[in-house]
């Protein structure tokens, strides 16, 4: 009986993937999703602010695993799965990857400050950020997470700190919410 449940779950997942592929193919006939299409999925218009644009470019690059400047279907499926169904642990690992601008596996103050500034501006609808406030947020993040005081935050420190402290989690979490356009297109018959 356990086997039948897992077969059913696989069948449902396969149906969903087939439906997603048909939708992807109709929206991206080239077989590649470009940044402007990705921005559309998340409701970011062409006249978006500089911060929203920078954020979406950073997020797009994090899903573009082969770094070719476009997302193929497999990269797209991974992105959709993470955004809509991903576990907290996976979302935190992905958030860390977005923060880690130079890809060295550790976060320094400049990397944290850049992403916190962008997130803060987006959350406050682009009201002017007070740089002292951002500095205070970054200082508190480092106080909470940098357990070995080496002025860098490792993935382990990032995950542990975010899971333990709701305030830190709120500051670090990169929540993406697909816009109505995406939801409508997911529910359309192929």
Residue-wise pLDDT for 103-116, tens only, equals 899 999 999 988 88
The pLDDT score that the predictor gives to residue 5 is 41
- The mean pLDDT of 88-94, rounded to a whole number, is 87
Name the E strands within the chain.
Answer: 106-107, 153-154
- The mean pLDDT of 161-189, rounded to a whole number, is 66
Q: Indicate the range of 54-63, 87-96, 141-150, 170-179 predicted with least confidence.
A: 170-179
**Of 89, 96, 98, nearest in space to 145 by CA:** 96
pLDDT tier at 180 (50, 70, 90 boundaries)?
very low
What CATH number is given to the structural domain containing 33? 1.10.238.10
pTM value is 0.69
Q: Would the pLDDT of 123 be above 70?
A: no
User: H/E element holding 13?
Assistant: helix 2-27
- The mean pLDDT of 6-28, rounded to a whole number, is 69
- The mean pLDDT of 69-77, rounded to a whole number, is 90
What total of structural domains would you count in the chain?
1
**pLDDT tens, position by position, 35-47:** 988 887 776 777 7
- Domain range for 60 is 2-187
**pLDDT tens, position by position, 159-173:** 999 888 888 888 776
Q: Would the pLDDT of 190 be above 50?
A: no
Task: In whole angstroms, give the CA distance from residue 103 to residue 96.
Answer: 10
On average, the pLDDT of the chain sits at 78
pLDDT tier at 2 (50, 70, 90 boundaries)?
very low
Q: Would the pLDDT of 3 be above 60?
A: no
């Amino acid at each position: 009986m356990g086997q039948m449940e897992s077969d059913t779950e696989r069948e449902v997942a396969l149906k969903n993937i087939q439906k997603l592929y048909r939708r992807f193919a109709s929206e991206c006939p080239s077989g590649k999703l470009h940044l402007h299409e990705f921005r559309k999925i998340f409701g970011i218009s062409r006249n978006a602010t500089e911060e929203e644009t920078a954020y979406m470019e950073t997020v797009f690059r994090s899903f573009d695993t082969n770094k070719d400047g476009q997302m193929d279907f497999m990269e797209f499926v991974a992105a959709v799965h993470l955004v809509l169904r991903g576990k907290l642990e996976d979302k935190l690992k992905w958030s860390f990857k977005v923060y880690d601008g130079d890809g060295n596996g550790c976060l320094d103050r400049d990397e944290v400050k850049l992403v916190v500034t962008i997130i803060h501006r987006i959350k406050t609808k682009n009201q002017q950020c007070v740089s002292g406030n951002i500095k205070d947020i970054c200082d508190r993040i480092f106080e909470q997470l940098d357990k070995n005081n080496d002025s860098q935050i490792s993935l382990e420190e990032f995950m542990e700190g975010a899971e333990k402290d709701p305030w830190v989690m709120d500051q670090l979490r990169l929540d993406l919410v697909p816009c109505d356009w995406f939801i409508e297109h997911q529910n359309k018959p192929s």
